[in-house]
Amino acid sequence: MVLGSNKVKVSYYSPENSLGLILIMPPTGGSNFLDRQYAGSLCQSGFEALIIEGWQGLGEESLSLEIHQQLLSRGQEAIDTVLKNFSAPFMGIVGTSVGALHSATALGRHEKLKAGFLIAGGGPIHEVIATSDESTLKEYRKKRKEKFGFESTEEYAQALNANIDDDLDALNYQEVISNKSLALVVANKDETVKTEHQKNWVEAFNPEPLYEFDSSHFWSIVKTWWFYEEKLNQFFLDQVK
């Protein structure tokens, strides 16, 4: 299914009787086996589940510092498009990695999103981008330091910050998100979204429940599905009791 002028591609799972709608925002690279497993499991639990597969301009690359503002804005526009086309008495969101970044900001922006289960995300966004070992972001950092003459990663991070609007960073919605139902999964050996940035979310949002793995980014994401898929379902079931 494709929605809107920004061509948001979604996969929709519908139960016989709906308890609500859960959006799923995948990690870098688009939807994968785990996202489909979550969607199928949520559907079996009685929720409509909708995976946001992609949108126009998702994969654009550029050394320009402004590209992250554009990419983050497009992610929010994709969520906006879905929320204009779907509605339910209860709506929640699941996000993994960069999907967690988009999801947390959406929780701050949209009153109708009542709960979130976010996996290996953190902030501030400009620091996540500047310090990540994700291959594309790592290559950006190297080439931009050469091109623009940044002498440190901190200088690079501040330059990114100057080119990303405050309303695209979840930490600027601290009060709103803190008053919503939020579950966080933290990876304690993460270099992709550094653990310290994930802990910033813990401190700012006071999530309940909080799950932690002494694992890398990738393995914490896998372990969340392996060990906590039922807990994810129950988290949302608890919201509609």
pLDDT digits (tens, 9 = 90+) for 218-227: 999 999 999 9
The H or E element spanning position 76 is: helix 67-85
Region 103-120 average pLDDT = 97
DSSP, collapsed to helix, strand or coil, labels residue 93 as: strand
Q: Is the pLDDT of residue 30 over 90?
A: no
Please write the tens of the pLDDT for every residue from 142-181: 999 999 999 999 999 999 999 999 999 999 999 999 999 9
So what's the pLDDT on residue 38?
Answer: 97
The full length of the chain comes to 241
Q: Which of 134, 83, 108 is nearest to 205 (CA)?
A: 108
Region 79-93 average pLDDT = 95
Top pLDDT among 30 and 154 is at 154
So what's the pLDDT on residue 59?
Answer: 82
Residue 177 CA to residue 160 CA, distance in Å, equals 24
Confidence of residue 28 (pLDDT cuts 50, 70, 90): confident
Confidence of residue 94 (pLDDT cuts 50, 70, 90): very high
Contact predicate 179/136, CB 8 Å: no
Q: Is the pLDDT of residue 29 over 80?
A: no
So what's the pLDDT on residue 56?
Answer: 87
Confidence of residue 51 (pLDDT cuts 50, 70, 90): very high
